[in-house]
Amino acid sequence: MLKETIANILKDVILLSTEEIEQLLEVPPNAELGDIAFPCFILAKKYKKNPTIIAAELVEQLKNDLKLENINIHSQGAYINFFFENNVWSEKLLNSILQEDFTKMDIGKNERIIIDMSSPNIAKPFGIGHLRSTMIGNALYHIYKVAGYDAVRVNHLGDWGTQFGKQITAYKRWGDQQKMKDNAIHECLQLYVKFHEEAEQDPELEKEARIWFKKLEEGDEEAIKLWNYFIELSLKEFKLMYEKLGVDFDHYLGESFYNDKMEPVVIELKEKGLLEKSEGAMVVRLDELDMPPCLILKSDGTTIYPTRDLATAIYRHEQMKGSKILYVVGAEQQLHFKQVFAVLDKIGKGWSNDCEHISFGLMKFEGKKMSTRRGKVIFLEKVLEEAVSKAKEIINQKNPDLFNKDEVAEAIGIGSVIFNDLKNNRIQEVDFSLEDALNFEGETGAYVQCTYARIQSLLEKGEWKESWINDHLNPVDGKYLNDPSSWTLSKELMNFQQIIELALFKNEPSVVARYALEVAKKFNRYYNNVRINVDDMNEKKSKLVLTYATGKILKQVLQCLGLKSPSKI
């Protein structure tokens, strides 16, 4: 609102569009320089004057502008600084924030966005490394929904490939039905690790695994039965984990779903003369893009990951009607997706530009890459259990009589692990530290959640009434919100829509997480500097409306990040 107001004033005197002016406007580093500043450097060439002189002249020109009512204007150096009168503009900002549609935007106009996320491998444990794709994807889903898109979450399960030949081989040689019954995924991991250990000494095991996978591809009854068994056990475990994380999926469509959809892709590539032979394999050349060839068929005629992902993208666009397709997959797959998108473009799929790889940095443990085949996996379930346990300890110390202690401990503990990941830029590599993830002090999800709970407590003590939001007889009075901390908080809340737009532009949940921290910090500063529940009814009401508005925004940003917002902690 503030930037739009200034842009509307300036457009009449500097002959730039409101959009161009808005992009140039800045928020000064401190309040003494105003609320909004316009740098005049860009006008120096046009006016053939020093930008400092231009700023001073424009201030003189604007001083009598009726649109500047309740806005003061000064020049400092090459900047025009605008100061909004807090008592008037606090009311205007709050009225805007409290509108029902403030946190329900219509940027997307119901355009369908398909988000490929999580995608664990069947018969493998759900490790801490899976957290990134799952929660980055989940946060993007919620951010797109808030912005008015029809977002769809797809779990592209790793349910096909040579690893199933290895898993079947290991199970038939060393499998124990009782152990599988007691802890299926853990036993699957042990069998997978044992296979690779034994294969180092006995190369025949690899041949046996290839035979079993070939049987699986050919529809062998025993191979199919075991494969379905592994899928059933895995999905049961995965869904328990997703329930803990608060993540749902619109579709579970694993790699096997596309088995019958790859041949048409290969045929189309052949018909368009794009397939070339290379060392016995069939590839699509991408020399003009300075990329290595994209492998489509191996030398034995079988398909490979790029073939499958080409079929997947086409299905998502043509059958699922996705106008944009996001792949939340680790940065190590960057070349793979560049090749796939380039091949889509070569076969005339103009929508390939609407496919985007949302890459993220690797998650390591103590500086080392985790490896399933070596058994070096940190089970996410164990991490979440420890986080919840620690949260419960803290609650027992601070609020032992809390009635729903277990539920709150789960919200805080799991939220802390999620937020610890999402607050950092997704492309950064993460060296996972359980101690850091379980640290509830400082810039944490628990800090934001506790701030929300504090707000609910203040509203309860102040006997808050929803009717106060639209009370036209006794509206919010800005004279009670004239102090610096109230004004700073109001301005921060008003940034919500810009934050959502920026997060969308960058496909970056950390933008929202950092904003959550900023709102919480500014509210706590307001709480410490201002007495909210005072005796005077009009004053208390005005301050509680600002408090309520803060809670509304905090709840929405926590939801965007996949965190719960307990009202009592």
pLDDT band at 182 (very low <50, low <70, confident <90, very high): confident
Distances (CA, A) of 193 to 188, 235, 487: 9, 21, 59
Give me the chain's average pLDDT, please.
Answer: 92
Kindly indicate the confidence band of residue 368, based on its pLDDT and cuts at 50, 70 and 90: low
> Reduced to 3 states, what is the DSSP secondary structure of residue 523?
helix
The residues, ordered by sequence, that sit 6+ positions from 382 with a Cβ below 8 Å of its Cβ are none
The listed CATH number (1.20.120.80, 1.10.730.10, 1.10.1240.10, 3.40.50.150) that belongs to domain 380-420+431-561: 1.10.730.10
Take residue 197 and report the two structure tokens written for it: 């250990």
Q: Give 92-144 pLDDT, tens digit per residue.
A: 999 999 998 899 999 999 999 999 999 999 988 888 878 999 999 999 999 99
Structure confidence at residue 452 as a pLDDT band (50, 70, 90)? very high
Q: Which residue has the tokens 């503030």?
A: 2
| pLDDT tens-digit map of 8-31 | 999 988 988 999 999 999 999 988
β-bridge partners, 158: 121
What is the DSSP code string of 298-363?
Answer: -TTS-B-HHHHHHHHHHHHHHTS--SEEEEE--GGGHHHHHHHHHHHHHTT-GGGGGEEEE--PPE
The answer to whether the Cα torsion of 33, 37, 40, 42 is positive or negative is: positive
Lowest mean pLDDT among 254-263, 363-372, 503-512: 363-372
Q: Which residues pair with 140 in a beta bridge?
A: none
- What does the pLDDT read at residue 472? 73
pLDDT for res 350: 94
Q: Mean pLDDT over residues 301-329, rounded?
A: 95
User: Residue 49 and residue 104: Cα distance in Å, rounded?
Assistant: 45
Nearest to 96 by CA among 519, 541, 505, 498: 498
Higher pLDDT, 362 or 92: 92
Least confident of 72-86, 370-384, 433-447: 370-384
CB burial of 530-564 (b: ≥16 within 10 Å; e: otherwise) equals: bebebeeeebbbbbbbbbbbbbbbbbbbbbbbbbb
Q: Which of 243-252, 275-284, 377-386, 530-539 shows the lowest per-residue confidence on average (mean pLDDT)? A: 377-386
* Structural tokens at position 411: 């919200």
Structure tokens belonging to residue 374: 């070596």
Only one residue has tokens 């016995």, namely 280
Which residues 6+ apart lie within 8 Å of 10 measured at CB?
A: 16, 21, 38
Q: How many CB atoms lie within 10 A of CB 151?
A: 22
- Is 152 within 8 Å of 115 (Cβ atoms)? yes
Neighbours of 200 (CB within 10 A): 8
- pLDDT reported for residue 492: 97
Which residue ranges make up each domain of the chain? 2-84, 161-249, 380-420+431-561
Q: Residues 514-554: pLDDT tens digits?
A: 999 999 999 999 999 999 999 999 999 999 999 999 999 99
* 332/329 Cα distance (integer angstroms): 8
Packing angle of the helix pair 221-245, 380-398 (nearest 10 deg): 20
Query: Phi first, then psi: what are they for 446, rounded to 5°?
Result: -60, -35
Q: What is the pLDDT of residue 364?
A: 72
Q: What is the CB neighbour count within 10 angstroms for residue 339?
A: 22
pLDDT of residue 287: 96
Gap between the Cα atoms of 490 and 473, Å rounded: 22
How does pLDDT run across 52-70, given as a tens digit for each residue?
A: 999 999 999 998 887 888 9
For residue 81, what is the enclosing H or E element? Answer: strand 79-84
Closest CA relative to residue 411, chosen from 431, 430, 432, 394: 394
Contact (CB, 8 A) for 96 and 343: no
The Cα 11–Cα 367 span in angstroms is: 53
Q: Which CATH number fits domain 2-84: 3.40.30.10, 3.30.1360.70, 3.30.830.10, 2.60.40.10?
A: 3.30.1360.70
> Is the model's pLDDT at 377 over the cut of 90?
no
Contact call for residues 421 and 455 (beta carbons, < 8 A):
no
Report residue 423 CA to chain centroid gap.
Answer: 10
Task: Choose between 123 and 434: higher pLDDT.
Answer: 123
pLDDT of residue 543: 96
541 SS3 class: helix
Query: Residue 178: its pLDDT value, please?
Result: 87
pLDDT at 376: 61
For the residues 360-366, what does the mean pLDDT come to?
Answer: 78
Which of 180-184, 220-224, 258-262, 551-555 shows the lowest mean pLDDT across its residues? Answer: 180-184
Give the integer Cα–Cα distance in Å for 152 and 110.
11
How far, in Å, CA of 551 to CA of 545, rounded? 10
> Percent of the chain scored above 90 by pLDDT?
78
* Helix, coil or strand: residue 188: helix
The token pair that represents 75 in the structure block:
């020049």
The whole-angstrom separation of Cα 517 and Cα 277 is 55
Written as six digits, the tokens of 441 are 């002090």
What residues form DSSP beta bridges with 174? Answer: none
Segment holding 208, helix H or strand E: helix 204-217
pTM: 0.93
Q: What values do phi and psi take at 151, rounded to 5?
A: -90, 140
Distance CA 123, CA 167 (A): 8
